Amino acid sequence: MDVGRAAGVSAMAASAVLNGAKTSSRISDETRLRILEAATQLRYRPNATARALVQRRMNTIGVASSAWEGGPNSYALELVTGILEASGEYDQNATMFTLRNWDKDVERVHGWCDGRVDGIILLAPTLSREAYKLLPPHTPFVTVHGNQLVPHIVNVESDEERGAYELVTYLISLGHRRIMHVTGDRGLTGAERRIVGYKRALADARIPFSSKLVLPASFNSDKSRPVLREWMLRNEGEQLPQAMFCGNDGIATMVMETLAEAGLRVPDDVSVTGFDDTLAARTTAPQLTTMRQPLREMGRAAVEQLLKQVRRHETSNSPATDSNPIVFPVELVKRASVAPPPTAVRLVPKL
């Protein structure tokens, strides 16, 4: 505060006026004006680290994600966009932390709990139950699409099982019977919930479930690229599914690529659906019918939940009580990639 002092005349009462808090009762109008003027003239900025040291608050939230590895990821992009929007509105900064593998790199997470951020949002973490327990208790965490229900950690998620159910039910309503599910990474909560929804929709329509129509792939679209091609090579001459329900938009994009290469038309020969409604869903031709997850809004909610926890930690030392997940609704978005099934059965062509 020496700047303020040197410039004006008074001491570090400058702090009071710059913070604006209980100012009116504190400083005479004359001196405060002098301080304000000096501050703007010297272009003074209170040092954030000094302030953080005493206030124990950095006004910064951490965002941890493994999605940046292996190339851009539009799922994470939407989420981060929402997080940045909201953190800006709450006058918070956001610092991005990246890791490759949640369980292997969990030590890095601990390292971030050193006062540089007030709390951390974990984006689609896949930590073990043990790892969650070992997280430093003094730092608030919020998960988005977390893989575990953890006490004291709020999870922001969406109703994925219902989304899958509705999407598949929609396909069935158009007359589809042979519906393939190209899955996300098996074992991830999100992927499993889609499978459950898929099965439930089939069951409700009295369509027998066939594990042959479940094709394992990955939410990482690069990994998913060859999956359908390999399946077609193995199943040449067999019946082609009438529709492909894909685990996310990226998988659907890869599926459409492969179908195009095989000379099959979407949706005339086969319908394709995505999940998430990211940028990718609009840039394919035809555009994707997909199940919208409100990712931007979910990112915003994560920020709000985290800030709530941060405040709680500040005032009382009581840990979070409510660790109920916040569940967002999903919404069917109909676009051109879906049509009623062709009248004649299509066969898997030679590649």
Please state the closest distance from residue 105 (CB atom) to DNA, in A: 22
With CB under 5 to 8 Å by kind, the binding choice for 15 among its own copies, DNA, none is: DNA
Looking at the Cβ atoms of 55 and 98, the one nearer to DNA is 55
Which residues here bind DNA, judged by CB under 7 A? Answer: 1-3, 10-16, 18-19, 25-28, 31, 44-47, 50-51, 53-56
3-state SS, the chain, equals CHHHHHHCCCCCCHHHHHHCCCCCCCCCHHHHHHHHHHHHHHCCCCCHHHHHHHHCCCCEEEEEECCCCCCCCHHHHHHHHHHHHHHHHCCCEEEEEECCCCCCCHHHHHHHCCCCCCEEEEECCCCCHHHHHCCCCCCCEEEECCCCCCCCCEEEEECHHHHHHHHHHHHHHCCCCCEEEECCCCCCHHHHHHHHHHHHHHHHCCCCCCHHHEECCCCCHHHHCCHHHHHHHHCCCCECCCEEEECCHHHHHHHHHHHHHCCCCCCCCCEEECCECCCHHHHCCCCCEEEECCHHHHHHHHHHHHHHHHHHHHHCCCCCCCCCCEEECCEEECCCCCCCCCCCCCECCCC
Among 9, 21, 101, 110, which residue sits at the site for its own copies (rule: CB under 8 A)?
110
CA distances for 63 relative to 36, 98, 298, 325, angstroms: 35, 8, 14, 18
Among 24, 114, 206, 344, binds its own copies (CB under 8 A): 114
Return the one option of DNA, its own copies, none that residue 19 interacts with (CB less than 5 to 8 A, by type).
DNA
Q: How far is the CB of 109 from DNA (least distance, A)?
A: 18
**27 interface partner picked from DNA, its own copies, none, CB below 5 to 8 A per type:** DNA
107 phi/psi in degrees, rounded to 5: -60, -35
Regarding 109 and contact with its own copies (CB under 8 A), the answer is no
Instruction: Decide whether 51 or 162 has the Cβ nearer to its own copies.
Output: 51
- Binding partner of residue 25 among DNA, its own copies, none, CB under 5 to 8 Å per kind? DNA
Smaller CB separation from DNA, 22 or 234 = 22
Binding flags for its own copies, 218-257, as an x/- string (CB under 8 A): -----------------------------------x--xx
Q: CB of 36: closest distance to its own copies in angstroms?
A: 15
Shortest Cβ distance from residue 46 to DNA (Å)?
A: 4
Hey, which residues between 19 and 48 contact its own copies (CB under 8 A)? Answer: 43, 45-48
* Given 20, 72, 187, 237, the residue binding its own copies (CB under 8 A): 72
Determine, following the binding rule CB under 8 A, whether residue 84 of this chain makes contact with its own copies.
yes
Chain residues that interact with its own copies, rule: CB under 8 A? 43, 45-50, 52-53, 58, 60, 68, 71-72, 74, 77-78, 80-81, 84-85, 88, 93-98, 110-116, 136, 253, 256-257, 260, 278-280, 283-286
